[in-house]
Structure formats: structure tokens, C-alpha cells
């Protein structure tokens, strides 16, 4: 969702800046040295400034994204790294400006150039960890789903491994990874459905929340926390999936406790379904579905549409 350019590390930035300077080959040693210093300054000033501006302005973000980014990246670290990059940009500018003046007066302008390259390199190496952190943050932000706050939103929630991704695939355009181990889904997965009404096309967003365990919030891992954040800010409806076959590896009791907690904690309508009805069925009085045979899925779709008042 957030488009940010690749963040180069210190070595790559220095290669880029010194590479530009290397192309300046004409003039006296003095004018060459001054030209090179100006090229290095300009390249680093522009590039570092672009990095700082490319990250979203966090205070104006929707609270859902603020909370999500805090979990997946860490807001304080992110702000600190952006601050460090801005500090380096200013420092490089000051060093370059002084060096340009000095080179103009100096006997040996090339010597000034060499010393300045050394000082600029050391500033960039000082912030290398921040640059690496920002490049990782960029990759995480790129994967962050782009959620439309105006579109009706259904969250698929439940214990790990119960079939949330399988159901998301049947209900929407999403192509999630499905596997027989828990916590396959490690972030929020978004899918869409378009419904043709007589006069207009309506959209529904489906979001798979990563698997949740029935345990206190402080004990939850960062994968679960993303699901809680989504539940807090986004759903018009929750489809809670239970695996009564217990192939998921968790007891029915824990799954039902989680369902009760979600009902208590979030002020949202919940449809509970029992998945994997091809293996068992009858353990609960919820709507029975099977992602393997497709049994019950059409009825679930109808119930979702009714609850969202789209039928």
C-alpha cells in the first residue's frame, strides 16, 4: 500500500554519490575538486531527503494503520531511524559546504576532497543500521494491505489451522497460502468480492486475521496482535471459524472460549461456522461448512450478505 523507493545502505549511497563525482573530469584540479564536492553534496541531500519524505506522515494515518505499523515495524524505531537519516543529510551538507569553501582557497584542493570523502563516509556508516532498518520497514509496508475504510468489511477469525485461508479463497478473490500447520498466515490477508446489483456494483472486503489463541493479550505474539488490531478497527461482521474435527490441533473448548472473548470484547456481529464438516459435524449447532466439498458455503455467503444488508 505504501510506495517507498528502495533504501540504499551506506556503501551503496557512497558508491552512488562518489560515482557521480567521478564523472567530473575537466577543469583545473581546484575546479574539479569543487565540482565533485558539489555533486556529492547534491546527490546525498536529494536522496536522503527523498527517503525521509517517502514514509507516510504517521500522525495523519488512520489509527488502524498506526497500530498495525507499531506491531509490524515499531513506531518509535521508525521515527528514530528517519530522524537519524535527516541528521546525516544535514551533517553532510554542513561538511560539504565547509569543504567547498576550503577547497576554493586551498593549495591542495584534491587533499581537501579526500579528507571530505572520509568524513562523509563516516557520517553515513554511523547511520548504516538505520538505513538497513528502513529498507526492511519499506518491505513490510509494501506488504501492508490497502484497506478501504468505506467498504463493508468481513473478518475471518479463529484458532490457527482451522481453515480461515481455505474459506477466504472460496469467498473472495484472494489466493492465500493454505497449509496443514498453524500460523501459516502471518499477517492480514485481504480479498475482495464484487456484487452485481441492479444499478451498481458493490464491494465487500474479506480479511483473514492470523490465527488467535485463547490467552491474555499481553501473552499474544506479534502475529496474533495484528488480528486483534484488525478486529478492533475494521469489521462490520466477523465470521468465526471453528474446527470441531480437531485436526487443527486445538481443543473445541479453547476455540469456543476465544469465540466468547471476541463477542465480549468487540462490538460487532459474529457468524460462527463449523468448518471441516466433511470429517466431523454435529459437535456444535453452528452453520456447517466444508472448504473441501464446498458444502454450506453458498448458505454462508447468503448469511453474510443478509447481515451486511446487501440482500
Ligand X SMILES: Nc1nc2c(ncn2[C@@H]2O[C@H](COP(=O)(O)OP(=O)(O)OP(=O)(O)O)[C@@H](O)[C@H]2O)c(=O)[nH]1
284 binds ligand X (CB under 6 A): no
Instruction: Judge contact between 129 and 85, C-beta under 8 A.
Output: no
The contact mask relative to ligand X for 83-122 (x = CB under 6 A, - = no) is ----------------------------------------
144 binds ligand X (CB under 6 A): no
Interacting partner of 161 out of ligand X, Mg ion, none (Cβ under 5 to 8 A depending on kind): ligand X
Residue 218 parent element (H or E): none
278 binds ligand X (CB under 6 A): yes
185 binds Mg ion (CB under 5 A): yes
Distance CA 43, CA 103 (A): 19
| Phi then psi dihedrals of residue 295, to 5 deg | -60, 130
Bridge partners for 207 per DSSP: 155, 190
Distance CA 66, CA 56 (A): 10
Residues between 246 and 275 with contacts to ligand X, criterion CB under 6 A: 275
Nearest CB to Mg ion, comparing residues 123 and 258: 258
35 binds ligand X (CB under 6 A): no
CB of 278 to ligand X, least distance (A): 5
Give the chain's length.
Answer: 311
Q: Can you give 77-121 as a three-state secondary structure string?
A: HHHHHHHHHHHHHHHHHHHHHHHHHHHHHCCCHHHHHHHHHHHHH
Bridge partners for 193 per DSSP: 204
> Which residue stretch of 33-41, 73-81, 163-171, 260-268 sits at the interface with Mg ion (rule: CB under 5 A)?
163-171
Which of 56, 74, 145, 182 touches ligand X (CB under 6 A)? 182
Contacts of 79 (CB under 8 A, 6+ apart): 58
CB of 248 to ligand X, least distance (A): 7
Nearest CB to ligand X, comparing residues 115 and 261: 261
297 binds ligand X (CB under 6 A): no
CB of 290 to ligand X, least distance (A): 4
Which of 144, 161, 226, 229 touches ligand X (CB under 6 A)? 161
User: How many amino acids of this chain bind ligand X (CB under 6 A)?
Assistant: 22
Nearest CB to ligand X, comparing residues 152 and 160: 160
Residues of the shown chain interacting with ligand X in the complex, contacts defined by CB under 6 A:
160-166, 178-180, 182-185, 211, 275-276, 278-279, 290-292
Amino acid at each position: 500500500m505504501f510506495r517507498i523507493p528502495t533504501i540504499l545502505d551506506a556503501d551503496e549511497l557512497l558508491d552512488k554519490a562518489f560515482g557521480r563525482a567521478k564523472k567530473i573530469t575537466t577543469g583545473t584540479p581546484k575546479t574539479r575538486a569543487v565540482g565533485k564536492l558539489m555533486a556529492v553534496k547534491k546527490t546525498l541531500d536529494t536522496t536522503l531527503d527523498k527517503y525521509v519524505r517517502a514514509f507516510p506522515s504517521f500522525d495523519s494515518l488512520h489509527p488502524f494503520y498506526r497500530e498495525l505499523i507499531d506491531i509490524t515495524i515499531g513506531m518509535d524505531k521508525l521515527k528514530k531511524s528517519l530522524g537519524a537519516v535527516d541528521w546525516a543529510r544535514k551533517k553532510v551538507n554542513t561538511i560539504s559546504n565547509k569543504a567547498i569553501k576550503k577547497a576554493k582557497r586551498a593549495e591542495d584542493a584534491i587533499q581537501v576532497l579526500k579528507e571530505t570523502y572520509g568524513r562523509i563516509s563516516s557520517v553515513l556508516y554511523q547511520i548504516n543500521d538505520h538505513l538497513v532498518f528502513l529498507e526492511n520497514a519499506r518491505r513490510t509496508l509494501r506488504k501492508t494491505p490497502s484497506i478501504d475504510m468505506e467498504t463493508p468489511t468481513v473478518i475471518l477469525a479463529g484458532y490457527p489451522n482451522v481453515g480461515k485461508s481455505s474459506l477466504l479463497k472460496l469467498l473472495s478473490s484472494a489466493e492465500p497460502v493454505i497449509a496443514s500447520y498453524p500460523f501459516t498466515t502471518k499477517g492480514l490477508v485481504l480479498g475482495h468480492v464484487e456484487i452485481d446489483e441492479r444499478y451498481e456494483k458493490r464491494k465487500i472486503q474479506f480479511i483473514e486475521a492470523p490465527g488467535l489463541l485463547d490467552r491474555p493479550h499481553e501473552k499474544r505474539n506479534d502475529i496474533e496482535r495484528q488480528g486483534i488490531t484488525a478486529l478492533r478497527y475494521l469489521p462490520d461482521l466477523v465470521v468465526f471459524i471453528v474446527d470441531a474435527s480437531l485436526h487443527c490441533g486445538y481443543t473445541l473448548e479453547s476455540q469456543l472460549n476465544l469465540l466468547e472473548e471476541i463477542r465480549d470484547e468487540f462490538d460487532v456481529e459474529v457468524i460462527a461456522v463449523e468448518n471441516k464438516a466433511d470429517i466431523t459435524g454435529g459437535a456444535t449447532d453452528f452453520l456447517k461448512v466444508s472448504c473441501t466439498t464446498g458444502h454450506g458455503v453458498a448458505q454462508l455467503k447468503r448469511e453474510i450478505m443478509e447481515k451486511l444488508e446487501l440482500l
